[in-house]
């Protein structure tokens, strides 16, 4: 992955966390690594644990951010969430998977054209 893409992705995750916090979510962890991969954001909305996949794009040339989450990626996120839940000492009454899709045509997160779509219970 190029440095430019990595920086864009990090900025997208920062913006997503800020967005979630403004909606009242509590960010528990970011970039949670397991031996199978990484969960972008783990947050709490009330008593619901939310696993958040963040996708950042500058254009829809190769499809939208939503479309980039394939069946295979959803399955991998389920496996990562299960591994995460198994490590917890306190059970959670509910959990779900959300997607935050960020589109910033200018490639800058502070631009007026930056669009944030939050899909709750995405899969």
CA distance 4 to 16: 18
CA distance 66 to 62: 11
Confidence (pLDDT) at 120: 96
Confidence (pLDDT) at 64: 78
Q: What's the CATH fold of domain 3-119?
A: Trna Endonuclease; Chain: A, domain 1 (3.40.1350)
Where along the chain do its domains lie?
Answer: 3-119
Mean pLDDT for 13-24 is 97
Bridge-based pairing state of the strands 48-57 and 26-34: unpaired
Question: What is the tens place of the pLDDT at every residue in 33-75?
Answer: 988 899 999 999 999 999 999 999 888 777 777 788 899 999 9
| 109 pLDDT above the threshold of 70 | no
Structure tokens at 22: 């403004």
Distances (CA, A) of 45 to 3, 26, 27, 120: 32, 7, 9, 11
Taken in order 42, 44, 49, 55, the sign of the CA dihedral is negative
Q: How confident is the model at residue 108 (pLDDT cuts 50, 70, 90)?
A: low
Mean pLDDT, rounded, of the chain: 90
Whole-prediction pTM value? 0.90
| 107 pLDDT above the threshold of 60 | no
Confidence (pLDDT) at 4: 84
Q: Which of residues 118 and 110 earns the better pLDDT score?
A: 118
């Amino acid at each position: 992955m190029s440095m430019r893409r990595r920086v864009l992705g990090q900025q997208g995750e920062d913006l997503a966390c800020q967005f979630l916090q403004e909606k009242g979510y509590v960010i528990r962890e970011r970039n949670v690594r397991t031996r199978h991969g990484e969960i972008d954001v783990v947050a709490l909305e009330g008593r619901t644990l939310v696993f958040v996949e963040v996708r950042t794009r500058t254009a829809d040339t190769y499809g939208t951010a939503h479309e980039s989450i394939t069946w295979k990626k959803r399955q991998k996120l389920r496996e990562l969430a299960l591994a995460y839940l198994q490590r917890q000492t306190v059970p959670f009454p509910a959990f779900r998977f959300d997607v935050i899709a960020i589109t910033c045509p200018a490639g800058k997160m502070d631009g007026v054209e930056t669009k944030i779509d939050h899909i709750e219970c995405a899969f």
